Structure 1
């Protein structure tokens, strides 16, 4: 989570005001998105990167991201004219669509500023969801309460907006994770199954690694051509990939996306998520049946793997 970088929001702690070093903060958000989608927006590294910055003048660079119990997330919060703020988050408990618990340590210029225990409780339905976040904060080098209130408040507002334009598709494929991953991350096989029923792919360039790209055209059964450009920013073998979707080669970005792969009793649970750049693009995608078409794509993947 990010903090407010306004230096006026914090003050040095003296021995006389040590009682102010400890605070319990609670944040609540009502989100117009399904509970399952909110959970993905809250935990998926690609989604967290979308909403983490509290304001446009701040950028957040993720150095490490491993959302599983025992994993950690390390990020740098940057703003012109200010020292970088380092945030280390360690995941202590993860109960999908129910709750998460993590520790968070904030430092700047090698000095630890604060430590906190962050508990998130989620609830809701297939239409709306609620998020309640409790932060048990211990300020160390300075009083961090005001910064936490501003940073968490802004970040969770961004989260709600991102969740409301996020699409999540899931399918359990009856094959080992290594096989599913191999079908997805092989430049020879990916174009053979990618796309909804009746679509084929024509590849211009393909390089399936972090920093790589896939420039291709999707061709409908009536011959209509849809230019696509995927830019890959993360590849963790047999775990997840992160990439951005663009309208044609070097065209405007329309979504930040990820695919994750989880073992499930010998099968593989595939989650395909997309945070659309605007609410309008999300609604347009829903309108032309992106959910159904995406599920068809995962169905083609399952059939392809079964045929190997």
Structure 2
């Protein structure tokens, strides 16, 4: 019996050593035909992360929580037919814009922790191209997760590259407190007064600026051309960010997934407007007709509206 107990103890100890020894350091690199500023937004903005984070079309990802700031966390569920849900918790430990980020990641399923990892991302690039290097220090717990991590991260970063290359990011620092900027944006009476490029006006049919709400409206160009629009709001975090979908007219085809974020900056407010176009062709077409310049005009109208109010 003593011998059996000793053998059993040794077996358990060996198994424990095996589990504790499942460590791996993985490195992933991507070169992207997208500006560094765009890559950073696509990596950190919850609306963009929700688009590229599913490793395949067979996996549906639901974000339960998303707070991209130091000390904040992101919780998501990965669902695949016929398999238990996989829960991923990501906690942000360091964020240095357009330079680096560090986060922990814990994967679990049916209440059992599968792995824990430290993920470091390093960014470099220019206004035309960018580079991402991701290092994952992985500890497998319930089972060996290295192969799954390699496959999953490769697929996700391929998705990220595709998303970044059809994403447009516009930024402007507005000389007003965040509460004032938010109030001008998320107000059913004031939003239509400034939305759109120079010379454009809005004709609203329905407007409900809350999570689950919508804005159905026409953009009217200076020459009278009418452009039907439909915004569907799926996230509204007061004075922080909004996430919405752009459709071509009421219940029409999807044009883009978009978000706007609002950040305090020494009494002013940094506004970031991001749009992930449905296809690369739509993105190129939008750039071709001057969408960047027209979008910056829209943010300029917002600032003038606030200052004159």
Q: Could you state the TM-score of these two structures normalised by the residue count of structure 1?
A: 0.95
Residue in structure 2 matched with residue 189 of structure 1 by the alignment:
190
Separation of aligned partners in 2, 1:229 and 1:161:
25
Pair 1:38 & 2:46 matched: no
1:104 aligns to 2:105 (yes or no) = yes
- Give the aligned partner of residue 299 of structure 2: 298
Structure 2 equivalent of residue 29 of structure 1:
30
Residue 224 in structure 1 maps to residue 220 in structure 2: no
Structure 2: stretches of 5+ with no match in the other structure:
1-13
* Structure with more relative contact order (C-alpha pairs < 8 Å, separation 6 or more): 1
Which residue of structure 2 lines up, in the alignment, with residue 7 of structure 1?
none
CA distance in 1, matches of 2:226, 2:274: 24
Residue 254 of structure 1: CA displacement? 1.3
Deviation at 1:14, TM superposition (A): 4.3
RMSD: 1.1
Total equivalences in the alignment: 296
Conservation of the 8 A alpha-carbon contact between 1:97 and 1:122: yes
Please show how residues 63-82 of structure 1 align to structure 2 within 5 Å.
63-82=64-83
Give the secondary structure class of the aligned counterpart of 2:152. Answer: helix
> How much has 1:239 moved relative to structure 2?
0.4
- Compared CA separation, residues 219 and 134, structure 1 to 2 (3 A): same
Task: State how far apart, in whole Å, the 2-side matches of 1:44 and 1:15 are.
Answer: 39
Aligned to 1:276: 277
Residue equivalent to 2:289: 288
For 1:90, the equivalent position in structure 2 comes to 91
Q: Distance in 2 between matches of 1:152 and 1:274?
A: 23
Offset at 1:17?
3.6
Contact 2:254–2:278 (8 Å) recurs in 1: yes
SS of the equivalent of 1:295 reads helix
Quick check: 1:142 aligned with 2:148?
no
CA distance in 1, matches of 2:221, 2:19: 66
User: Matches of 2:259 and 2:189 in 1, distance apart?
Assistant: 20
Q: Does the 8 A contact of 1:75 with 1:88 survive in 2?
A: yes
Gaps of 5+ in 1: 1-12
Structure 1 segments, 4+ long, off by >6 Å, are none
Question: Equivalents in 2 of 1:172, 1:65: separation in Å?
Answer: 24
- Quote the Cα distance in structure 1 between the aligned partners of 2:237 and 2:38: 22
2:192 is the alignment partner of 1:199? no
TM superposition score normalised by structure 2:
0.94
For 1:41 and 1:67, the matched residues in 2 are separated by 12
Higher-Rg member (1/2)? 2
